[in-house]
Structure 1
């Protein structure tokens, strides 16, 4: 990978919204593959007031946008790429949100897989992790044993008409988070495709508000 295509030479590009208080709870928005921080930051306008919102640009240039990891196929990260970029992200997060500052991750599509990797690696690091229309990064060097996410809080949203992420990965993620992981999981499913419905955003907003109120 060339330096031009690899954004891990420094801290990420971030689009901010919400509170500018460095002690405010932080909601990190992780965009989908081929998108960027400018698109996902618009979600902040539909989420609770009070937190700081940071929409982070993924480090790999791809298709006019950016990606969080190299792929073996849709929803199937290359383990080494995922691990490297998770380490890069965690170094940034430690700078902006040291211990004591509540952090919620909200990932869409490829960003959901990345958020899922961060969750599996450190289940209790986050006040909550939301996976929107995406899969956990199965078979990518991270444990998905039963009860791996004991003590974690997750939100999952899927659409029955989603034909972008392979259905077997969506179903496996849904079942694992709700039945096997040990996490406390809130779930939303509707008839939509690979995009957030108003109902899903409303459910997400309620969950984010609840998680941050409890985290305080």
Structure 2
């Protein structure tokens, strides 16, 4: 029997790219990993993203095999669980008050949580990144405000990704086009992964979001 995850993000669930005395005043990028991964995703990409950013990689609340997840991928899934996980992220990010801007980057399942967090609190995030990801299919209260603001979002995926169903890809692409200022890239031959070319495009997008970018 799966126990209920804690209602908030605890300090031991967060990997930081910089010690506490080197974070204040720097733009923050929140990383949300995919199903079966963990917060060490941050350590894996730290040297590939702009050094001006402080990265905070959050571990999902559900234990999954050798890693963690944000919500189950079986018959026990309820769409409310996406909201519950996104609310945890929103509450944690809202407490990070020492940064001039905050972006959110999600890979796979983590991207659905990142987008949901933006939809729950459109004031909180300056931009978003969706890698091999998808949006939850039901409307959210903040959608109208996002449509008005059109925050920058980078979306990258491979055309050989077998894990995200085509109808969900189409729904996500349409939602992003309607609610964000979208930079969309599709990489030929790439599966459910991130390629060097995608990292290069992502880095250019992130640099454009930095103060003065």
TM-score by length of 2: 0.86
Query: Gaps spanning 5+ residues in structure 2: where?
Result: none
- Deviation, 1:168, is 1.2
User: For residue 147 of structure 2, what is the aligned residue in structure 1?
Assistant: 149
Aligned CA-pair RMSD: 2.6
Q: Check conservation: 1:127, 1:212, Cα contact below 8 A.
A: no
For 1:144 and 1:89, the matched residues in 2 are separated by 16
User: For residue 197 of structure 1, what is the aligned residue in structure 2?
Assistant: 195
For 2:87 and 2:145, the matched residues in 1 are separated by 24
Superposition pairs for residues 1-216 of structure 1, below 5 Å? 2-3=2-3, 6-8=5-7, 11-12=10-11, 13-18=13-18, 20-71=22-73, 78-97=78-97, 101-139=100-138, 142=140, 148-151=146-149, 152-178=151-177, 180-181=178-179, 183-191=180-188, 192-214=190-212
Q: Check conservation: 1:70, 1:82, Cα contact below 8 A.
A: no
> Which region of structure 1 is more displaced relative to structure 2, 186-195 or 117-126?
117-126
Cα deviations across residues 53-97 of structure 1 (Å, max 9, x unaligned)?
111101111122111123467xxx622212222222222112223
TM-score by length of 1: 0.85
- Deviation, 1:200, is 0.7
| 2:95 partner SS | helix
Q: Check conservation: 1:29, 1:56, Cα contact below 8 A.
A: yes
- Deviation, 1:36, is 0.3
For 2:9 and 2:51, the matched residues in 1 are separated by 30
- Deviation, 1:6, is 2.2
| 1:96 partner SS | coil
Q: Assess, with a 3 A threshold, how the Cα gap between structure 1 residues 25 and 88 changes in structure 2: closer, same or farther.
A: same
Query: Gaps spanning 5+ residues in structure 1: where?
Result: none
Q: Check conservation: 2:9, 2:89, Cα contact below 8 A.
A: no
Q: Check conservation: 2:26, 2:53, Cα contact below 8 A.
A: yes
